Chains A and B, each alone.
Chain A
Amino acid sequence: MSTLHIWLVIVLIGIGTFLIRFSFLGLIGKRPLPGWVLRHLRYTPVAVLPGMVAPLVIWPGATGGQPDLARLAAAIMTLVMGYVTRNVIVSILSGVATLYLCLYVTG
């Protein structure tokens, strides 16, 4: 990707993100959102992020796309700790600790 192309993408996502945030506050005002729209919007993060992360966990680039026990264990630990503690930082730290421990043990 050329430098210009990279900046174009960054600027367009920036404008788009601002317009999403500004949408109702700035442009649309008090017209209420229909229930079915709200019902779908509620699930956008859990609809996008798991699908994006799944191939990265199962076919990690660092091992040439071969499933890797250390990375799989770290992924499961991160997810479980995040679910149980509801704490993003605890979740990250448990995942990183698991990854390094497994990489150390399996050498």
Chain B
Amino acid sequence: MAAETVKSAYWRGVRDGAPFILVAVPFATLFGVVATEAGFTIAETMGFSVLIIGGAAQFAAVQQMAENAPTLIVIAIALAVNLRMAMYSAALVPHLGGAALWKRAGLSYVLFDQNYAISTATFEARPDMSIDEKVAYFAGTALPIGPPWLLMTYVGALIGARIPPEFALDFALPITFLSLIGPALRTPAHIAAALVSVTAALVLAFMPYNTGLLAAAVLAMMAGARVELWAERRRAAECR
């Protein structure tokens, strides 16, 4: 009986995560194309997707390496893009924190933006789910993202080497980044952070080894946090 509900929780996760396949497939293909265009071998391209398995950070790392940024800067920028997942990890502790260590390690490997969002929403809406059901559900939501990500990276890498330069693929990477930014501009604080990031990155472009981008990122995070605080205080004042 218990095994049956766990199994159905897994398949419910797969079904709820199914739409994400529409994001994973084109993005992974694009990554394969972009990475091979930037000069990486198919094995290296797959290395990014298997070991990092995180879209924006992989694109960021390829971009920085193509610009010959120093190793420490490449790593710092890629990890900065992924830092938000520490917040996801913390938010999942009340739901998955009780699972065995190896299960938590496995689920951490497949912790993405999309399945984090759908899983926390489901867990909060259905507090009656057992820990085993929650683990199974989360693993289920990762299935439509993880395997397609790896497979389509490979397909993209095979295609990438055959696309001629007239297709202006140099601009595939900027378009990919920009497509992630638009939907992320959810609040005035997000918009403020993005504006500070752009302005500071352009003004600080003279700084050596792409350190200007790191400085811009720190300033932008501070701007976002500051505007959020102001907005909260204003709301509190209006309520009074």
Contact = CB atoms under 8 A, between A and B. Distances in A.
Contact of B182 (A25, A28, A71, A79): A79
B71 A8 contact: yes
Interface string A76-91: 0011111110111101
Interface stretch (B10-18, B122-130, B156-164, B214-222): B214-222
B224 A42 contact: yes
B51 A45 contact: no
Given A46-B194, A48-B81, A52-B60, A22 B108 contact: yes
Interface in A46-63: 46-58, 60-62
A6 interface: yes
Contacts of B168: 62, 70-71, 99-100, 103
Contact of B65 (A6, A29, A49, A92): A6
Contacts of B143: none
Interface residues of B, number: 90
Choose among B75, B171, B201 the residue with the greatest number of A CB atoms under 10 Å from its CB: B171
B221 A88 contact: no
A9 interface: yes
A48 B111 CA distance: 20
A77 to B, nearest CB: 9
A29 B93 CA distance: 7
Interface residues of A, number: 74
A88 B23 contact: yes
Given A36-B225, A38-B87, A43-B224, A25 B198 contact: no
A33 interface: yes
B240 interface: no
A88 B56 CA distance: 13
Name which of A9, A57, A70, A83 has the most chain B CB atoms within 10 A of its CB.
Answer: A9
B170 A62 contact: yes
Nearest to B79: A16
A10 B84 contact: no
B8 interface: no
Contact of B97 (A30, A81, A103): A30
Contacts of B120: none
Contacts of A32: 90
A19 to B, nearest CB: 9
B104 A22 contact: yes
Contacts of A56: 63, 173-174, 177
A66 interface: no
B118 interface: no
Interface of A: 1, 3, 5-14, 16-18, 20-26, 28-30, 32-33, 36, 38-58, 60-62, 70-71, 74-75, 78-84, 86-89, 91-92, 95-96, 99-100, 103
